[in-house]
Amino acid sequence: MLIFVVTRKTIMLETHLLKIIENKLKKENLPISVKFWNGVEVTGTNSEIELTVNSPKALRIFTNPTLSVLAESYVHQEIDLKGEIRKMVHILSDAFNNHDPNNWLSRFSRFVHSKESDKAAIAHHYDVSNEFYSLWLDKNKVYSCAYYNTLDDSLDQAQEQKLDHICKKLNLTPNERLLDIGCGWGALIFWAAEKYGVKSTGITLSENQHLYVKEEIKRRGLSGLVEVRIQDYRDIPTQEMFDKIVSVGMFEHVGINMLPTYFKTIYNHLKPGGIVLNHGITTSNLDGGASSSGGEFIDKYVFPNGELSHISRVVEKMSREGLEILDTESLRRHYAQTLWSWVENLENNQAQARDIVGEDKFRVWYAYMSGCAYAFEKNWINLYQILAAKPENGSIEYPLTRKHVYNTNSKL
């Protein structure tokens, strides 16, 4: 008798939820058809997406409709999705982005960024598999926002344009010393050495990246111009100075409370009159933190301990550490285009990707990059290149105009 009562209650609850879902689809004219594990199907208006709910557990996506819950259910195969990816992300983000802007997680730093925890976070994200990243990155393995002259540019072309854009902004000249904090797979330090004759030093916390760059240095015959280290930015020898410093896609890992230490470290290792370029993701939320309900998923599955600040806070903290801001440039639309290119490449190589990292991790990256592409499109997040200098008695050795950045004498 007890079993019968429980089963009956369960059936009643499921029936009630199905009715709520059906009403939501019709009321909001959502183009989604939902298929349930028990054979029931609810169809919205002019459905463009098919969402299959594989078990009662997945009903949480409707009772707690956030992007993080939706993405986690997808990763654990509690739900399946069919449809064109851009349409799916657009429709599902509008339907499931139940975000509370007053959530304390959006307003305060949540993590202690010790050297050990930062290294573990980097390993979680970057030491997945060099082969996996190669399936969807460009030929130079540039894992950061590309720079598009037109939307018809290929990913390879746009990434090389980005490398050259950075080098021109830094106004690199032969034999200068360049430090790249978070050098990835080395594309920028190789470009700077080979195209501009710069002595490049890259630091990373990723074992996979470090090994790859070391092998590439030998293969390219750049032992005299390029070096790579496994090193935390806080461990750079005190006496070591650089003419130019760059950081691309790394400062998101630094932590809001550690930004003063990060920028002070850059200032201390920059020669007087030297130039720094910081290229990183910011939030469009003035209070800091996530501007959508997908932040928890990203922290748990993709970027542990990652934190975003608003551009105004970044400029303030750089200025407080003695760096003079010369220029800022938003690459938000460029990053949306970059991410969609990565998603397309991952789709085209999904069989190989699944073989390398497994179904769950494939779904993590597919959901993460698609969601981020949409977030950049919606201006929930942005990306800025901030150029700054360390003045020497008020003097800065830098061109008065930006003609050198946009001249036609390209190194491409």
For the chain, counts of helices (H) and of strands (E): 16, 11
Under 8 Å between Cβ of 326 and 388: yes
Q: Give the C-alpha separation, 365 to 287, whole Å.
A: 27
- For β-strands 177-181 and 49-53, DSSP reports them as unpaired
For residue 167, indicate whether it is catalytic.
Answer: no
Burial class (CB in 10 A: 0-12, 13-18, 19+), 153: middle
Q: Give the C-alpha separation, 264 to 36, whole Å.
A: 55
Under 8 Å between Cβ of 303 and 125: yes
Under 8 Å between Cβ of 383 and 172: no
Q: Which amino acid is at 371?
A: G
Q: Give the C-alpha separation, 279 to 332, whole Å.
A: 12
Q: Which residues are catalytic?
A: 372
